[in-house]
Structure 1
Amino acid sequence: MSLIRQVWFLVLGVVLASVLGSMAVSAIGMRALLQTQLQLKNSDNAAALALALSQQGGDAQLMSLLVSAQFDTGHYQSLRWLAADGSVAFERTAPGRSSKAPAWFVALTPIDTQPGVAKVSNGWNAVGSVEVRSQSAYAHDELWRASLRMMGLMAGVGLLAGLAAFWVLGRIRRPLDNAVTQAEALVAGQYTQVDEPREPELRRLSRAMNTMVERVRQMFEAQSSQLEVLRVQAHCDALTGMSTRTHFLAELDSALTRDEGPVRAGLVLLRLRDLAGLNQRLGRAAVDQLLVAMAHAVQVYPERVKGCLAGRLNGADFALWLPAPDVVGDTAKALADALQASLPAFGAGVQVALGAVELARERPSSDWFGAADAALARAEGRPGFVVEVLAPSAEAQIQGERAWRAQISEALRERRGRLAEYPVLDKQGQVLHLECPLQLRLVADGPFESAARWLPLAVRSRLTAEIDLQAVALALEAIVLDGRARCVNVAPSSLLDGGFVARLREQVFQSPQAARKLGLELAEGAAIQHFELLQEMGRQLRPLGVKLGLEHAGAGLAQVDRLYQAGLDYVKLDAAVVAGVSGDAARAAFVRGMVIMLRSLALKVYAEGVVDGMDVQALWDCELDGVTGPWATAQT
């Protein structure tokens, strides 16, 4: 039983006891008063009647008439005239009148009075006495009416007392409810502050809770800062701060396997020529400054362009991946011009070769580096700051995009879509849920195409909202059929459609049972760029049982200022974060730190794109909740 309910029972008990006690005291006092009044009435009436009889000169007939007349004028139960010898000379009686009060009340409050007695005389001679007994039913009637009035009055007082108690307990309960809400929010990873009430005891409680929440928030921020240090140690080159070769390759592989992004992209390789000779001529410190200057020139692009990747591959080589078509050549030439303007200031003989290539994103990373290395080799064949670009014809790409756009729209209209299924496994090998990316049959009799082929063009054509709604509809239908939990991807661009969340909520609302096994995933960028829209989506859908998660999560989580308020259920670490974790203690420490931070926000943590079984075991050691990727698919 809750504390407030116990207090309520106590208040009600006290009020009820007070009311009943007051009524009992009032009834007893009223009964005594009425009994005394009735006794006095009997005595007074007996005295008055005896006086009247004494004036009749001992005439028995007149005295009998007078007694009879007195009986007829009053509410008497009996009137008796007793002779001097004690015998009854004359008597009038009436049956006892039934009271209007309930029988239990009459039995509970008996009114018992003695008859009034007075002597009758004839001159100086005593001729007998009279006894007068009044009806007690009238006293019970009045006592019952008085008790009812008192009951009404006490009920009103009790009601007012109850309302006052309700108001007081409400004031007491609000700070307690706020403290409970604050504690529940803290469990959910939200750091909320509450106003301090006026009551000293409750003010101390609220102040203590606010202090605790603030300290936990500070601990979380300190943990985030420590995590950023671990990330730099695990992923970044010590000299330039850019991604190491291992991490850059992992980021590139992850980017190439994602559905979002353009169909084609570009890769630029930069090489500082004759690194060994420069070290001998300029000195190691000067060459380090030279390399840092190159890194700053390359790093400008990832800082300004979303999805851009940059890294230092080895001592003299840098790489820049551009997630956009038809820009690789201009970017490489702009880099060459910037480097040619700044690097010669470090000393004579500084030269840089740049090789650039543009390919389809569906090509593996080995093809990208093979083509870029070939372009770089050709650039090294000429002196100075040289750029060699290998890029396909742009006109053919534009024509293909137009045709694909029409095919996507037609496939949506005809509902030519299906969901692929990839398992997310826990440590025991149980399927937590199925990842279900949408595939479209762009040609009526053709194969189903993965989203990597058509989603970039759908984003340009603003078709992602319709695509995501169709994917959710297919997932709900599949859940109804087999009861297995499923998760579908939602494009961040869909959040920009003003009616998307409302339509999605209505669609989910139609299948309340299936909605409890539905998950929606958005890329990490959605939490960075559209935080309020993501938060509103969570407010609309999570009460219906829908789970919300972030995929491709990595270093970008540090840019989400209010991650604890995003309304998420889980976070899926990017393949670039978890790849090679079994052989790299620094990467394992970073992953473990990510898990600790996210668990403090009451979020589950999964890993995506896992290929190596050794990495899986290392991830279990880091206390992850589940993994997905080629390794997980092979286990089922």
Structure 2
Amino acid sequence: MARKRDPQSVRHQRGVITLRTLLLIFTGGLLVLVLLSGFFTSYSHFRGYVSEQLAGQARDGATAVGLSLSNAIDGRDRVAAASLIDSVFDSGRYLSVVYLDNQGQVVVGRSRTLEDIGVPGWFRSLANLPLPVARAEVVRGWSRLGTVQVVSDPGRAYRDLWRITSGLVVAILVIGGIGLFALFLVLARVLRPLHALEEQARALGRREFRRHVTIRSTRELNQVTTAMNQMADDLGHLFEGQAKLIQHFRRVNNEDSVTGLASRSAFDQRLKAEVESEERFAPGALMLIQLRDFAGFNDSYGRLEGDRLLIRIAGVIREFLSRHTGSFAGRRTGAEFAVYLPGAVPADAGIWCRDLLAELDGVYADQAAPAEVAVHGGVAKTAAGVKARELMSAADEALRNAQSHEESECHFANGEQEHHHNNDTWRAIISEAILRERFSFWLQPMFEDHSETPLYHQVFSRLQAPEGELKAGVFVPMAERFGLIEDIDRLQIRRVLDWLESRPDQSFAVSVAGASVASEPFRRDLLIWLEEAGDASRHLWVGISEQTIHHHRTAVGLLVRALGRLGVPVVVDRFGVGGVPFSYLRNLRFQALRIDNSFIHNIDSHEENRFYLESVVSIAHSRGVQVFASGVETASEYGVICKLGIDGAMGYHLGRPFAANQ
């Protein structure tokens, strides 16, 4: 058996940097590095410039004072020297102007400390401009009188450097911010297709081939998106081709080419599964119907008219089947048809058979007028231990007895007198059971990959009637006929949700009837209950039959998408019996298919079913959908389906149903 495939196998990678982030960091970092390099270069250049200005200012001041004391003023005149130095110092350009004698003693001088200069202290400490000291000699003739020592005031230099630095920082922040924002916009625009491609890749991983990328960007990315779109289209066409091929093969082998009803071999196979399967057996009735003198009609009107008649007859039979849940029909030979009614008691089958014969007689008479025609029917009831061939022989004998009459007639193989409930009694029994909750629930395990732990337990309901517990195959057709099946589904789902709350380590599966799925109040209440259940709802598998998907596409689509958003797995129940195309697998997200037991019954000796099942498994797995089998009753059947790659199986061979309270 194939390994379980995780439907969430494609996930977001965590801790891995995105391409856009990487490009943004690299290019943004490069931009910041260029701006910072420019800043430090400009800062260093200007700092050197103001330092040279301070040194030049000090030299000029020392030279001017020295020359003045040497030539214009007698340097030996202390008062005159003091007056000159005061005038120079008061200009505010120097921290210190000192006149020293030859022994280094101060003759006259002025100095002050560097106080508040209008720049932050941290910047002053960071800039740390040098304080250059300039010296000039004072001479008179050939005599050296002393030395003038001048220190420039760096306050203005600090203020200029602070102003220039602040301007550079603001410019860098503005230019850098605009540059990074522009870079972000450019990368977001250029790399937009990447996110769409990522979503498309995830969709392909989920086998969804309809997603296309329409965003245009650079030439290289446009080529990638075009290639991805083409691949998605090719995979979609490949899947459709496979599905159509398998559906065609199934139609050729299982459907009558004229009427579209089940072929003789397909009907017999499904009848055997219904009648001979220990797991599926329930009371029912088989009807054989034949048009009298159809060969004469063909001779008189031609084969094309004969085919048109058969198609009209098949249409009436299909309409009849739509009114009886679980029933199916097939064309035997010529104008002979077979109809099986699960859960039908002989009295009801007699009424239905006569009504159906009346409808068919009207169609036949209208087509064959003015010729006299008739439609005959034979009915046989199922019984424990009776094989499908014996049941067919009994119905055929009843048909031959009916054909002894000229008029349309329906005969029973063993008479129709037996104790049974009429419609009113059935309605009262089922309504009372719903009101009093007189249902018992049984569980049957679904195993996967030879695991000893069930994947889930399928839930079945049984009705507690006066004659004992009745299987679903007996009362469900009646409940659907009376419009009571929705109440039974509500009761079953509420009970299962209660189990999930008390048994968080288990999973369960429930099958929902078509009438319930079609009911908007039921769907609304179901979703409310599942939301209230929280994470526990993820352990509930919801089964929807393939026939329901076919007849209620809109309602099924709404429900399946809503369940998908809640994380509730959905399985296609009774897959294969409806002859429905696989197209819904492309449009709706199902987690699994459960093959009907009519395909599993005696599959070890049924080559056509093996090939069909193998093809279904291949297509389903290509879509990420698991495939389960139901009705496995023998070791040989189990061995065959394991080789075919089935993901899970259930049946009497693997585990019999047991009461839920056990």
Q: Give TM-score scaled by structure 1 length.
A: 0.82
Deviations 1:263-311 (A, max 9, x none): 9987531346799xx79x999xx99879856643442235555466321
Cα gap change, 1:108/1:220 in structure 2, threshold over 3 Å: closer, same or farther? same
Q: How far is 1:628 from its partner?
A: 1.8
Alignment correspondent of 1:31: 47
Tell whether the 8 Å contact from 1:266 to 1:327 is kept in structure 2 after alignment: no
Q: Deviations over 1:529-569 (max 9, x none)?
A: 33343333333333443211110111646435342231210
User: In 1, distance between residues paired with 2:182 and 2:418?
Assistant: 82
Q: Distance in 1 between matches of 2:481 and 2:288?
A: 28
Note if 1:115 corresponds to 2:138. no
Q: Is the 8 A contact 1:80 1:90 kept in 2?
A: yes
Pick one of 490, 496, 501 that aligns with 1:475: 496
Q: Give the 3-state SS of the residue equivalent to 1:521 in structure 2.
A: strand
Cross-structure match for 1:554: 576
Query: Quick one: which of 367, 377, 382 aligns to 2:405?
Result: 382
- Flag the 1:161–1:432 CA change in 2: closer, same or farther, 3 A: farther
Encode CA deviations 1:106-143: one digit per residue, 9 max, x unaligned: 67655335334567678999866533212446534553
SS at the partner of 2:624? coil
Q: Counterpart amino acid of 1:155?
A: L
Q: Write the letter of the residue equivalent to 1:378.
A: N
Residues 503, 116 of structure 1: CA spacing in aligned structure 2 closer, same or farther, 3 A cutoff?
farther
Aligned letter for 1:296?
I
Matching of residue 187 in structure 1 with residue 208 in structure 2: no
Tell me the amino acid that sits aligned with residue 198 of structure 2: V
TM-fit CA distance, 1:214: 0.5
Name the structure 2 match of 1:312.
331
Give the match for residue 204 of structure 1.
223
Deviation (angstroms), 1:520: 0.9
CA positional deviation for 1:205: 1.1
Whether the aligned pair in 2 keeps the contact of 1:230 and 1:586 (CA below 8 Å) is: no
1:577 correspondence with 2:599: yes
Q: Which amino acid aligns with 1:230?
A: F
Cross-structure match for 2:98: 80
- Going from structure 1 to structure 2, the CA distance change for 1:340 and 1:632 (only over 3 Å counts) comes to farther
Q: Kindly tell me: are residues 588 and 360 of structure 1, through their superposed partners in 2, closer, same or farther at Cα, counting changes over 3 Å?
A: closer
Aligned counterparts, 1:129-528, within 5 A:
130-136=148-154, 139-140=157-158, 142-144=160-162, 146-191=164-209, 192-237=211-256, 242-252=261-271, 267-271=286-290, 292=307, 295-301=310-316, 304=319, 306=322, 309-313=328-332, 317-321=336-340, 327-339=352-364, 342=367, 354-357=376-379, 369=392, 372-383=395-406, 386-388=409-411, 397-412=422-437, 417-439=439-461, 449-456=470-477, 458-459=479-480, 464-465=485-486, 467-479=488-500, 480-481=502-503, 483-528=505-550
Matched, 1:619 2:650: no
Q: Does 1:9 align with 2:1?
A: no
Contact 1:517 1:546 in 2 (8 A): yes
Closer/same/farther in 2, CA of residues 142 and 458 from structure 1, 3 Å limit: farther
The whole-number CA distance in structure 2 between the counterparts of 1:495 and 1:482 is 26
Task: Between 318-327 and 577-586, report the one with greater CA deviation.
Answer: 318-327
Q: Against the structure 1 CA distance between its residues 269 and 635, is the aligned structure 2 distance closer, same or farther, given a 3 Å change threshold?
A: closer
Residue by residue over 1:165-220, the C-alpha shift from the partner in whole angstroms, topping out at 9 and shown as x without a partner, is 22222224431121121121122121122214132221111111110011111111
CA distance in 1, matches of 2:452, 2:74: 119
Structure 1's 92 and 270: CA in aligned 2 closer, same or farther, altered over 3 A? same
CA distance in 1, matches of 2:161, 2:94: 18
Deviation at 1:242, TM superposition (A): 4.2
Query: 1:382-427 deviations in whole A, cap 9, x for unaligned?
Result: 3476554787899963322441353144135xxx555311111224
In the alignment, the residues of structure 2 paired with residue 531 and residue 475 of structure 1 have an alpha-carbon distance, to the nearest angstrom, of 26
1:329: Cα distance to partner?
1.6
Q: Which amino acid aligns with 1:474?
A: R
Corresponding letter in the other structure for 1:179: L
Contact kept? 1:358, 1:392, Cα under 8 Å = no
SS of the equivalent of 2:28 reads helix
Letter in 1 for 2:637: D
Partners in 2 of 1:16 and 1:617 — Cα distance?
A: 68
Distance in structure 2 (CA, Å) of the matches to 1:189 and 1:167: 33
The one-letter code of the counterpart of 1:491 is A
Give yes or no for contact 2:247–2:582 (8 Å, CA) kept in 1: no
What is the distance in 1 between the residues matched to 2:159 and 2:483?
86
Shift of residue 478 of structure 1? 2.7
- Listed one character per residue, the Cα deviations across residues 46-102 of structure 1 (whole Å, up to 9, x for unaligned) are 466557756545432232244245435526332222458987533444456598556
Using the alignment, how far apart are the partners of 2:189 and 2:573 within structure 1?
44
Amino acid at match of 1:26: S
Q: 2:12 matched to which residue of 1?
A: none
- Structure 2 CA distance for partners of 1:429 and 1:288, relative to 1, 3 Å: farther
Give the partner amino acid of 2:202: E
User: For 1:24-63, what aligned pairs fall within 5 Å after superposition?
Assistant: 24-46=40-62, 49=65, 55-58=72-75, 59-63=77-81
CA contact (8 A) 2:448 2:647 kept: yes
Residue 378 of structure 1, CA deviation: 1.9
CA RMSD of aligned residues (A): 4.4
Show CA shifts across 1:232-253 (max 9, x none): 3432356876423342134456
Whole-angstrom distance in 1 between the partners of 2:460 and 2:387: 24
Separation (CA, whole Å) in 1 of partners of 2:468 and 2:36: 84
- Cα deviations across residues 415-470 of structure 1 (Å, max 9, x unaligned)? x5553111112241544433433536667x99665444544455466555554444
| In 1: Cα distance, 2:387 partner to 2:230 partner | 51
Judge conservation of contact 1:505–1:540 (CA < 8 Å) in 2: yes
Deviation, 1:601, is 1.2
1:21 partner SS = helix
Percent of residue pairs bearing the same amino acid type: 22
Alignment correspondent of 1:567: 589
Q: How many residues align?
A: 620
Once the two structures are superposed, what CA deviation does each residue of 1:310-348 show, in whole Å capped at 9, x if it has no partner?
213357742134689754322212323434555799xx9
More divergent stretch after superposition (626-635 vs 40-49): 40-49
Whose RCO is larger (CA < 8 A, sep 6+)? Answer: 2
Measure, in 2, the Cα distance between the counterparts of 1:229 and 1:372: 32
2:246 and 2:456 map into 1 onto residues whose CA distance is 30
**Unaligned segments of structure 2, at least 5 residues:** 1-15
Partners of 1:300 and 1:559 in 2: how far apart?
19
